[in-house]
Amino acid sequence: MPFKDKLYRLAKRLLTSREEAEDATQEILMKLWAKNQAMDSYKNVEAFAMTMTKNFCLDRLKSKQASNLKLVHSNYDDGSTSLHKQIEIKDSLSWVERILEELPEQQKLVVQLRDVEQYDFEEIAQMLDMEVGTVRVTLSRARKTIREKLVQKHNYGIA
């Protein structure tokens, strides 16, 4: 499937471990394969698959066996910059991850789908069963919170 990488990235965003994300992606792909004949009735199979992945991962996080999982994301690595700059970038990403962990679940998902996966607002609205305006407001609030907390962190101790 052309969008299996997107399924994996969403699963990786929601489930900390790479192994858990791979298992979730494989499980979703198996379910999609089993429903292959029924897929023709769906307008947007990719949106349906993303919704399945989101629900599967959230169920996984709620399960008793997932008590040691948490929301994390660490897919960024840029080897072309100086060591000092790399440390600053990693620190900033670390802070963004911490801030994302504190956001409400819906805001986390909207940020992931829009800013990481690059979905349109209409696709996100369909996946999350929301109005397009609500998606825009949710994304705006999430970005504002992230921005304010990063500014607050970077300006700490500066009078």
One pLDDT digit (tens) per residue for the chain, 159 residues: 577 888 888 888 888 778 888 988 998 888 888 887 676 666 778 888 888 888 888 888 877 454 555 544 445 454 556 777 778 788 888 888 888 888 998 999 899 889 888 899 999 999 899 999 999 999 999 999 999 988 888 776 564
Classified by CATH at the fold level, domain 1-69 comes out as: Rna Polymerase Sigma Factor; Chain: A (1.10.1740)
- DSSP-derived letter for residue 1 is -
Q: Tell me yes or no: is domain 79-159 CATH 1.10.10.10.
A: yes
Q: Other C-beta atoms within 10 Å of 1: how many? A: 13
3-state secondary structure of 6: helix
> Which one, of 118, 129, 127, lies nearest residue 46 by Cα?
127
In the chain, where the domains are located: 1-69, 79-159
Q: Is the pTM of this model over 0.85?
A: no
